Amino acid sequence: MASVVVDPDQWLLDLPAAAPTRDNTLLATRPNAALPALGLYPNPCHHELNLVGLAAAPAAAQVRDATGRLVLRQSVSASQPQLDTRALRPGLYYLLLTSAQGQPAGRGQFVKE
């Protein structure tokens, strides 16, 4: 990531180094790389979230809340395809899987009740 811009409302925007902005208004964005969407169930979840479509190799799961804050980090794999969500507060969350090589491997979103 080249830079991060934080606005007064706590939103994190991943922008190129010379992104056109004016008066804290975003005028353009860079397109995201296409990542495979994961199957997540149950959604909404309570204590754990099951992941479908994982590769055999272990991956790092990062869960961010609606403000972009990292709230959970856990290792997952095809043999252990669950996230323990007991520590999360109710709300909307975004999941990003990263391979052992550091490459994005999947994404999803879920609701914790």
CA distances to 9, 15, 19, 22 from 62, rounded to whole Å, are: 22, 20, 26, 31
Question: pTM for the full model?
Answer: 0.69
Could you report the per-residue pLDDT of 67-109, keeping only the tens digit for each?
999 999 999 988 889 999 999 999 999 999 998 898 888 899 9
Domain ranges of the chain: 1-31, 33-112
pLDDT at residue 10 in the model: 55
Question: Which CATH number fits the domain 33-112, given the four candidates 1.10.287.70, 3.30.460.80, 2.60.40.3080, 1.10.10.10?
Answer: 2.60.40.3080
112 burial class (0-12, 13-18, 19+ CB within 10 angstroms)? buried
pLDDT band at residue 54 under the 50/70/90 scheme: confident
